[in-house]
């Protein structure tokens, strides 16, 4: 490594101590202990092959959000991320070894949660994601780069799994026969949303594509949703992806990597809290096909995430950061347990959506 983090922060006109921050799966994150504080991140170039496109998307989206927030009388320094430019006016800094860094404002007096502690947190996160969708409703989705091609093309994700199974690169297939069988049994459903986008019944929108609870900052005092963060995967996509992925994470009764599967269920109480908050913001803008597919969106995003964890496990853990042996397999198993539970509760899920 030909640089120090102190060297890097100075490229953004900041000269203070820097310390690791958070526990994200993909990028390395630090906090600059300045006044005001800033977040520094090293972008994972194995995941984001073209960081300049990622940053152009983020800049365009946050500038659009900033204008909307000002129009609505909000606080532009708290309600959206702001890209901090380098000393020479760029959106990011590239070190000599190719490492790419970017800096954002730090959202003060707000916290994020890795797990849902009460339904109100999920309701507020849902409202924040719904507002995010609303403010970007008039942003032309086709002007954004697809920074990870086919990110939520579940059919292609399934084909990746099939190839990983056939290759069995690191010799793990024999230990995951049951999981592979579960994934393959649902092959007929993998193209449902992709095909609906293709035929126009589900419109292409600006989507966040990683709507976990911990990607919303909640006010420390009021608990209200303040700011949607982690915008790396903002791309053209379906609203069903954002709704479904939020529930995959938020309506589970256990951690994404819980080893004891008896602790994992799909909570209808949490499903209802999120659905109420989200549809309260965007419900009137949905097409009939989007409304119909909302419960399926939760299931297919959970299934897709499960097969991605399984694929990574079969390929030797090259995409998601792991912190123990079999970590990706544990993650896969929680997702598949949730899918099975959603299938049992499908009718109740449809009834809840109809209610709001």
pLDDT digits (tens, 9 = 90+) for 36-70: 999 999 998 877 888 999 999 999 999 999 999 99
CA distances from 26 to 44, 106, 259 (A): 6, 19, 22
Q: How confident is the model at residue 115, as a pLDDT?
A: 85
CATH of the domain at 55: 3.30.200.20
Mark whether 42 and 127 lie in a shared domain: no
Q: How confident is the model at residue 63, as a pLDDT?
A: 96
Q: How confident is the model at residue 1, as a pLDDT?
A: 56
Mark whether 134 and 94 lie in a shared domain: no
Mark whether 98 and 204 lie in a shared domain: no
Mark whether 160 and 94 lie in a shared domain: no
The proportion of the chain whose per-residue pLDDT surpasses 90, expressed as a percent, equals 81
Answer whether residue 112 is part of any domain.
Answer: no
pLDDT > 70? residue 338: yes
Residue recorded with tokens 């032309």: 140
Mark whether 253 and 329 lie in a shared domain: yes
Into how many domains does the chain fold?
A: 2
- Reported as type and span, the H/E element at residue 219 is strand 216-219
SS3 216: strand
Q: How confident is the model at residue 192, as a pLDDT?
A: 97
CA dihedral 331→337→338→342, nearest 10 degrees, is 160
Answer whether residue 191 is part of any domain.
Answer: yes
Mark whether 227 and 81 lie in a shared domain: no
* 175 band by pLDDT with thresholds 50, 70 and 90: very high
The residue out of 107, 134, 149 marking a domain boundary is 107
Mark whether 25 and 146 lie in a shared domain: no
* 25 band by pLDDT with thresholds 50, 70 and 90: low
pLDDT > 80? residue 234: yes
Answer whether residue 246 is part of any domain.
Answer: yes
Mean pLDDT of 262-274: 97
Answer whether residue 273 is part of any domain.
Answer: yes
Contact (CB, 8 A) for 320 and 331: yes
Name the percent of the chain in helix, strand, coil, to the closest 5.
50, 10, 40
Mark whether 149 and 248 lie in a shared domain: yes
Answer whether residue 128 is part of any domain.
Answer: yes
pLDDT > 90? residue 277: yes
Range with lowest mean pLDDT among 34-38, 263-267, 297-301: 34-38
CATH of the domain at 136: 3.90.1200.10
Mark whether 22 and 152 lie in a shared domain: no
CA distances from 86 to 102, 141, 149, 346 (A): 8, 27, 28, 50
CA atoms within 13 A on the CB side of 164: 27
Tell me, yes or no, if the pTM score tops 0.85: yes
Q: Which residues contact 311 (CB under 8 A, 6 or more apart)?
A: 157, 160, 161, 164
The residue out of 75, 107, 139 marking a domain boundary is 107
Q: How confident is the model at residue 283, as a pLDDT?
A: 82
Contact (CB, 8 A) for 3 and 97: yes
pLDDT > 90? residue 291: yes
Order of strands, sheet of 225-228, starting from the edge strand that comes earlier in the sequence: 110-111, 216-219, 225-228
Mark whether 63 and 175 lie in a shared domain: no
Mark whether 193 and 81 lie in a shared domain: no
Mark whether 98 and 155 lie in a shared domain: no
Can you give the residue range of the structural domain that contains 313? 119-355
Answer whether residue 220 is part of any domain.
Answer: yes
Answer whether residue 113 is part of any domain.
Answer: no
The residue out of 66, 82, 107 marking a domain boundary is 107
Answer whether residue 114 is part of any domain.
Answer: no
Mean pLDDT of 321-340: 96
């Amino acid at each position: 490594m030909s640089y120090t983090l102190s060297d890097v922060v100075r490229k953004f006109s900041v000269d203070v101590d820097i310390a690791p921050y958070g526990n994200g799966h993909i990028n390395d994150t630090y906090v600059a202990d300045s006044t005001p504080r800033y977040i520094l991140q090293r972008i994972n170039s194995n995941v984001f092959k073209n960081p300049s496109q990622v940053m152009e998307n983020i800049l365009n989206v946050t500038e659009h959000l900033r204008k909307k927030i000002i129009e609505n009388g909000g606080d532009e320094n708290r309600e959206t991320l702001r890209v901090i430019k380098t000393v020479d006016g760029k959106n990011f800094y590239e070190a000599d070894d190719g490492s790419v860094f970017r800096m954002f404002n730090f959202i003060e007096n707000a916290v994020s949660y890795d797990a849902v502690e009460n339904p109100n947190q999920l309701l507020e996160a849902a409202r924040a994601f719904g507002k995010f969708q609303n403010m970007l409703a008039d942003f032309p989705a086709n002007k954004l780069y697809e920074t990870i091609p086919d990110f939520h093309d579940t059919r292609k994700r399934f084909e990746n799994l099939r190839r990983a199974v056939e290759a069995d690169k690191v010799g793990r297939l024999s230990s995951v026969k049951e999981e592979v069988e579960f994934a393959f049994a649902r092959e007929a459903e993998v193209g449902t949303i992709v095909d609906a986008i293709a035929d126009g019944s589900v419109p292409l929108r600006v989507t966040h594509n990683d709507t976990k609870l911990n990607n919303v900052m909640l006010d420390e005092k009021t608990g209200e949703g303040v700011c949607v963060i982690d915008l790396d995967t903002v791309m053209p996509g379906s609203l069903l992806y954002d709704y479904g992925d939020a529930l995959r994470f938020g309506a589970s009764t256990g951690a994404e990597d819980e080893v004891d599967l008896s602790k994992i269920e799909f909570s209808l109480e949490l499903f209802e809290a999120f659905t109420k908050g989200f549809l309260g913001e965007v419900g009137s803008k949905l097409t009939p096909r989007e409304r119909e597919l909302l419960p399926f969106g939760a299931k297919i995003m959970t299934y897709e995430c499960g097969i991605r964890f399984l694929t990574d496990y079969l390929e030797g853990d090259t995409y998601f950061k792991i912190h123990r042996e079999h970590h990706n397999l544990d993650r896969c198993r929680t997702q598949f347990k949730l899918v099975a539970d959603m299938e049992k509760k499908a009718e109740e899920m449809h009834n809840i959506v109809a209610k709001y």
